[in-house]
Structure 1
C-alpha cells in the first residue's frame, strides 16, 4: 500500500546525486572506492573517540561485533527483549543463547536493576554471560550510567545497538560510544540512510582492524587468495557510501527536524486524554527517529490497533512498537527476566509518521484522526 503520509521516508536533497554520479563515474561501485573511506572518516570525526567500519547492514555490524567479542557456541548473551529481532538473531547465528531482559518504564530500554538480577542469576547457574546487548529504542538513550557500571562490575562487555540512535546523546556523549563496540544502521527508513548499510564503531584499534579484515572475507594480504579464518561479505559498497556520506553531512538538520516533529506532536496532543509519549530525561538528547505514543484505551475509548486502522483509512502509515522477543514463537524456549513492561508497551504503543519533511499540516491531519476517534468516545 502506498501511503499519502509514510511512517519514515528518506529525504535526498543534499549531495546524494552528485556523489552517486561521482562513484559511478569512478567505476568503483563495489566494496572499494573513495566514498567508503570518506564515509568512515566523516563518521569517526563526528564521534571523536571512535573509529568506524562501514558495513552493508546494521545486522551485519551486530553479528561482526559479537564475533569480535568472542561469542560462540553455548555462550549466553543478555539482550533487551523489547527490540527488533536483529538485536538477537546474530546471537543464534553463532550458536549462542539469548537471555532476554525486560524494559524500564522511563526510556523503554533495558532495566538496569533487572539486568543485574539476570547477571547474578546466570552466574549462580555457572553461566557468566559473554556480552550484554543494549538498544536505544526509537533514538532514546538507555540508562547508560547504570549499565556501564554493571559492565565494569561484572567484567561483561556491552555491545551497543544504536541502530536507531545515530546522533542521540547521553550525558553529552554520542550513543554508540559507551560499549566496547557500537553499531549503527543506515536502512532506508532510518534518520539518515545509505539505502542499506550499517557501521561498527569502537575505540579499540584492534577491533577496528579485525573488523575490516573479517568484513572482506578475511583475505590475507598476499598475491593470491589465502584465508586463516572465516570471514564475511559485509563491507559497504562505494555507491551506498556515496549516498551515506551525503546524508551524514545533513545529520544535524535531520535531528533538528525530527525533534521539531516530536515537539509539534506533544503540543498538538497535549490535552488529549490517554495519550502518553516516550520520556526524555535531562541526561538525554534523543534524535527522535520515530515519535511514539502509548494509547490508554480506558481513557481514550479506542486501542492502538483501532487508531492504526483509522490512520490507514486516511492514507497515513503508522506501526506498532516492537513485539517483545521473549513472546516470539521462535524464542519460546529462551529464558526471560522481568515482568510485563515490554508487553504493555507493545499492547498500547504506536509509532506515528516522523519523516524529516513532515509538515505541520501533515501533523494536524494526523491529529485530526485521533481527535475524530476521541469524539466517538465522548459524544
Structure 2
C-alpha cells in the first residue's frame, strides 16, 4: 500500500530525543530521576491544580482513585456504558459493582438520566445513596470526557453533592479541554471532581509511550495516591509497608518523553482544532454524514473526530465503510462496544441505555493525528466523498 494514514499516532518532533537521551546518559532510567518530578510539577502547573502524581497508565490512576476515595468491596459506582472498558475494570479490581449509565449527544454521561436514577431508583438515607434494587451503597461516579468532549460537570457535580457521591473524572482523552463559560469557566477537564486521571498512551494527544497522571486539589488524595503507587512504604530505608501498595510508578524515561510532549500540547491542540474544522466544513453537505460536535461551553482538545453514518442516506453502512477506507490506505475504527454488553458485565445493572445503543451502530472515527498534513486531510475527505459519489460502493 503506497499511502497509509493511521488513525492516531504520536507526534515526536520536539525535545523528546534530547530529554530521553539525557535520562539515559545520566543513567536515571527507572522510577527515580528528576524528570518524574518535573513532569508532575508541569502538569499541575498547566492544569492549575495543587498537585499531580504520575503512574503507569490511566487504568492504574482510576484504580488508585477508587482506593483513596474509600470505595469498598460491595459498594457500587455509577459508570458510563459508552467508554473504553479501562474506565470500568478498576471498579471490579476492588470488588465493587458498576451501575451503567447512558450517554447524551455529547457521548458523555447523561446527567438527566443520572438524576432520575438517583431519585427514582435509589433512597438517600443517613448520608448514603442506597440502590433500591441491590440495597448497596453507591459511593462514586466515574465521568469520562469522551473523545475530549467535556461532560456536563455543572449538573453532575450538583447531583454528586446532593447525594454525597465522590467524582472521579476520567480525563484520559481530554487533557487541555477546559470550560470557557459557566460556573467552571477556566477549569480543565480532570480538575473539577475529587480526582482527575489522565492517560499518555501512544494514541493520546501527548504520550509517554505508556503512562498516566492522577491530579487533585486535596492534599490527602495526593499524598495517599503517591503512597499507594509506590508500594505503600512507610519507611523507605527499612522497607516497612503499612498497607497493600502497587508498583504503579512512572519511569524517568517516560517522564522525559512526557515533559517534551507537554511543551507542545497547545500547539497540538491548535492542529486538532484546525483539522477538525477542515473535515467538518468539507463533509457537512455530504448526505448521510454528520460530524459530531463538541460542546459550545468548552475549548475541547478535539482528540478524536467522529462521524455519524446514516447508511440509507450515504449509501453504505459504517462497517463496510471501514473496509473501503482501509483499502484506500485510511485507518478508521468504530466506537467501543458498550460495556454493559461485554461478557464480564452482562449481569450488572444498567439504566435505560438508549442513546449509547444508537451511537454504537453509527459512529466512525477518522484519522486525527497531530502530524496529519493538509494533503492527508484532503485525501481522507476526497475518498469519503468519492465512495458515496462514484458508485464504487
Query: What TM-score bracket applies, with the shorter chain setting the length?
Result: over 0.9
Residue in 2 aligned with 1:30? 30
Residue in 2 aligned with 1:127? 136
Report the alpha carbon displacement of residue 343 of structure 1 after superposing the two structures with TM: 1.4
Tell me which stretches of 4 or more aligned residues in structure 1 moved more than 2 Å: 117-120, 376-379
- C-alpha offsets along residues 271-312 of structure 1, whole Å, 9 cap, x if unaligned? 101111222232111101111111011211111111111110
Matched ranges for 1:289-328 at <5 A: 289-328=303-342
2:86 counterpart of 1:86: yes
Residue in 2 aligned with 1:203? 217
- Flag the 1:378–1:246 CA change in 2: closer, same or farther, 3 A: closer
Please, what TM-score do these two structures have when normalized by structure 2?
A: 0.93
Report the alpha carbon displacement of residue 117 of structure 1 after superposing the two structures with TM: 2.2
SS at match of 1:355: coil
Select the residue among 381, 385, 393 that pairs with 1:367.
381
Residue in 2 aligned with 1:41? 41
Residue in 1 aligned with 2:113? 114
> Cα RMSD between the aligned structures?
1.6
Report the alpha carbon displacement of residue 371 of structure 1 after superposing the two structures with TM: 1.5
More moved, 338-347 vs 56-65? 338-347
SS at match of 1:182: strand
Separation of aligned partners in 1, 2:50 and 2:148: 19
Separation of aligned partners in 2, 1:2 and 1:153: 57
Residue in 2 aligned with 1:288? 302
SS at match of 2:213: strand
Instruction: Give the gaps of 5 or more residues in structure 1.
Output: none
2:45 counterpart of 1:62: no
Residue in 2 aligned with 1:154? 163
Residue in 1 aligned with 2:18? 18
2:275 counterpart of 1:266: no
Equivalent pair of 1:323/1:343 in contact (CA under 8 Å): no
Equivalent pair of 2:149/2:295 in contact (CA under 8 Å): no
Report the alpha carbon displacement of residue 199 of structure 1 after superposing the two structures with TM: 0.2
Report the alpha carbon displacement of residue 155 of structure 1 after superposing the two structures with TM: 1.1
SS at match of 2:306: strand
Report the alpha carbon displacement of residue 50 of structure 1 after superposing the two structures with TM: 3.4
- C-alpha offsets along residues 246-281 of structure 1, whole Å, 9 cap, x if unaligned? 000100001111111101100111210111122223
- Flag the 1:378–1:299 CA change in 2: closer, same or farther, 3 A: farther
Separation of aligned partners in 1, 2:137 and 2:205: 36
Please, what TM-score do these two structures have when normalized by structure 1?
A: 0.97
- Flag the 1:239–1:132 CA change in 2: closer, same or farther, 3 A: same
